């Protein structure tokens, strides 16, 4: 079974992978921490994902870190939804014409 990722929102633009990882290590060992960046500019998109080494630490991280401050911003921490559970916009950002 794949490990559950945590979604971390409302990140400060200054937050990087190392800072995110260090913040979550107060809960337990972190397998990976990734701040999502814009592919063209390299600037943070303001959210990221953390994977704890122990699945038991996921809920503890949500309970203890959701709403806490990181780099001057109050972050949102929740269990990430699998890709197949996310709503789709039909495969593209353009609407098809009906005529």
**24: closest CA among 36, 14, 34?**
34
Q: What local confidence, expressed as pLDDT, does residue 1 receive?
A: 46
The Cα–Cα gap between 35 and 11 comes to: 8
CATH of the domain at 46: 3.30.70.330
Span 30-48, pLDDT tens digits = 999 999 999 999 999 999 9
Residue 84 is predicted with a pLDDT of 72
Question: What's the pLDDT at 82?
Answer: 79
Q: Is the pLDDT of residue 86 over 70?
A: no
Whether 75 and 13 have beta carbons less than 8 Å apart is answered as no
pTM score of the predicted model? 0.82
- pLDDT of 94 > 50? The answer is yes
Report if residue 16 sits inside a domain.
Answer: yes
In a domain, 31, yes or no: yes
- Answer whether residue 76 is part of any domain: yes
Q: What is the pLDDT of residue 81?
A: 87
Under the banding of pLDDT at 50, 70 and 90, the label for residue 23 is: very high
Has residue 67 been placed in a domain? yes
Question: Does residue 9 form part of some domain?
Answer: yes
For the chain, the domain total comes to: 1
State which residues form the domain around 34. 5-81
* Domain contains 35: yes
């Amino acid at each position: 079974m794949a490990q559950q990722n945590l979604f971390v929102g409302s990140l400060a633009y200054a937050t990087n992978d190392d800072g995110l990882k260090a913040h979550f290590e107060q809960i337990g060992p972190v397998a990976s921490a990734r701040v999502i960046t814009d592919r063209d500019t390299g600037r943070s998109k303001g959210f990221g994902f953390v994977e704890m080494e122990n699945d038991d630490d996921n809920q503890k991280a949500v309970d203890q870190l959701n709403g806490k401050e990181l780099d001057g911003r109050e972050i949102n921490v929740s269990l990430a939804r699998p890709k197949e559970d996310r709503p789709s916009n039909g495969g593209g950002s353009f609407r098809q014409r009906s005529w």
